[in-house]
Amino acid sequence: MRVVLVGAGGRMGRAVAQTLAGAEDVTLKARVERPEVAAPVDGGAPWGHDLGAFVARGDVVVEFSSPAAAAAAAAVCAECGAALVSGTTGLGDSEEEGLRAAARKTAIVRAANFSLGVLALRRALATALGAVPASWDVEIVERHHRGKQDAPSGTALQLAREAAERRGYPASALRMGRSGRVGARPDAEIGIHALRGGTWVGDHAVVLAGAGEWLELRHVAEDRTAFAHGVLAAARFVATAPPGFYTLDEVASAAAR
């Protein structure tokens, strides 16, 4: 399997490259970054700024870059016949639509978080919501390093949206933090709180609070290899998948068969 890595100079890009280097069935074909990012002097895979110059039919593109670069990578993959694993967060509606349009021509795995532990957290949350009374409140707290560009995290938003869907809440039920005299907490609300500082890799806690008791479900990523292993599983899946828009749930289900 030939992989072209977009965003190779970033934190996740470096972690993915390290993980791919230990996989016998994978060749890191090329690394793509913005022109202002200096190429490393490591003798590794070729380094450049133009994805189209490297990618070919049958390749797998892995991207952890920017919303605009994610949409551009999807368009290149659809045109060239390459598959895509996309992990950039903070995409707007137009960029998300760009990925879904490209998925009509090629296979794309899209996830806000590639940790298999976060996948387990999402499934545990669904079970817990079905077990506690509907009157219990849901709050989410996430922690990330001081350099993270978007807030709240894509994972926190995914957890909140899945909880809201299960509860039957509208999209407007999501509340990003609180400030001032906001009054009593409404019943149909899910609070999301983003902490930024230091070198936190990723920490997500979901609190279910009832009368006189509460339950916390929490996942902590100590190292970015926690995500990189999920990326490798997604790359192996998407390399042979037919055109379509896939999630990490489908990657995990296929691996379990």
Provide the annotated active-site residues. 144, 148
Instruction: Report d(CA 16, CA 9) in Å as an integer.
Output: 10
Radius of gyration of the chain (CA): 19
What lies within 8 Å, CB to CB, of 9 at 6+ separation is 31, 33, 34, 37, 38, 40
Instruction: Report d(CA 51, CA 143) in Å as an integer.
Output: 32
SS3 136: coil
Cβ atoms 202, 44 nearer than 8 A:
no
Instruction: Report d(CA 26, CA 3) in Å as an integer.
Output: 7
The torsion angle over the Cα atoms of residues 201, 89, 80 and 101, rounded to 10 degrees, is 150
Could you tell me which residues are beta bridge partners of residue 2? 27
- If you search the block for the tokens 């899910």, which residue do you land on? 190
- In this structure, which amino acid lies at residue 154? G
Cβ atoms 59, 29 nearer than 8 A:
yes
